[in-house]
Amino acid sequence: MPCTCYIIPRKVLIRLSRDKSLSARQRKSFATTAKFELEWRKARTAQSLVSQAAHETLLSGGAIAPKPAITVYNANHGTTVPGLPISNPAKSKDPDAKQVFSVTTDVATFYQAVFGRNSVDNEGKTLMSSLHYSIAYNNAFWNGGQMVYGDGDGQIFADFTRGTDVIGHELTHGVTQYSLGLAYADEPGGLNESISDCFGSMFRQWRLKQNVHQADWLIGRDIMGPAAKAKGYTCLRDMANPAAKHCLSAQPTRYSQIKPGMDPHDSSGVPNLAFCRAAVALGGNSWERAGQIWYQALTDTPPTRTMKMKAFADRTRALAKQNFKKDPAVFAGIDGAWKAVGL
């Protein structure tokens, strides 16, 4: 099945929908968001398959844009996307429109400047976003063709456009869709989610000009609302400490903990920790060595929907040896990071 691609796991939404410490209105909002996830999954399956087929069939057709257009729409609290176009989002009176336009533009620049990639499909695909989806919608997602953002309930979650790593994470699902094409179940699903966390975190660090030691390695820090913080949650996930209690969606840290059928948002903690350890071991900026190897492992092989974590780990090991022959510390750092999580 193609990528589900939500930033908030469905099990977290269900858990919050049953949390008696929240108001009835809040619980209903979480329940509705969880229900929508199932409906969107059907639509994404069709959208993703069509886009992949078109990409493979029409590779040589038409002119390729030198860089992607960035478009923003207002769903106006409805559930039909894209919604009404916002003609000049860079100067819109809606701060969410300005934010999404700015950050999406930066994601495109990040991929171009750091990895030489032209949009998610590497062919200048327009990056479309819809804001204000539904009412108090507690999620953001890539639907196989565009981005969709909810406003959050204002208590557990803030507006989802605030999370620069969230935007980078979700757009990276598009990159994976057009490259390795990982399925969204079991180990390939966990690897799919992890790749989005890795590049989402790298993007946030790049935008803030942070090196690996300055970075906090948190995912979703900027979308935590006051009620979530009051409960002790500072983020969705922590790549440096996936099992930490301050994570709203804590994860396993060892490959031996991964079980068949595990939610990809859970199993992704293992390769997340491996990437963080590798990047910290190598030092400097995460996107300069570890990130380059992860990107090449993602994009320089034919689509492999069923790739497991060990195969991806071994691919990064091989690339470290191949690309950094005169710097054995790179292989040592990456090999040690994977071994530390049981791979």
Q: Which residues are catalytic?
A: 170, 265
Buried-exposed string 13-49: b where 16+ CB fall within 10 A, e elsewhere: beebbeeeebeeebbebbebbbebbeebbeebbebbe
How many whole angstroms separate alpha carbon 304 and alpha carbon 181? 6
The distance from CA 173 to its chain's CA centroid, rounded to whole angstroms, is 6
How many whole angstroms separate alpha carbon 276 and alpha carbon 93? 38
Local structure of 238: helix, strand or coil = strand
Burial class (CB in 10 A: 0-12, 13-18, 19+), 308: middle
- The strands making up 147-149's β-sheet, listed across from edge to edge, are 84-85, 70-74, 127-131, 147-149, 140-142
Residues 267/252, Cβ–Cβ less than 8 Å: yes
Residues 252/177, Cβ–Cβ less than 8 Å: no
Which whole-number Å values give the CA distances from 333 to 11, 254, 256, 313, in the listed order? 34, 18, 21, 12
- Cα dihedral 183→185→188→193 (10° resolution): 90
Which whole-number Å values give the CA distances from 336 to 190, 212, 269, 293, 312, in the listed order? 20, 17, 17, 15, 15
Residues 7/160, Cβ–Cβ less than 8 Å: yes
Report residue 235: phi and psi, to 5°. -165, 170
Per the DSSP assignment, residues forming a β-bridge with 72 are 129
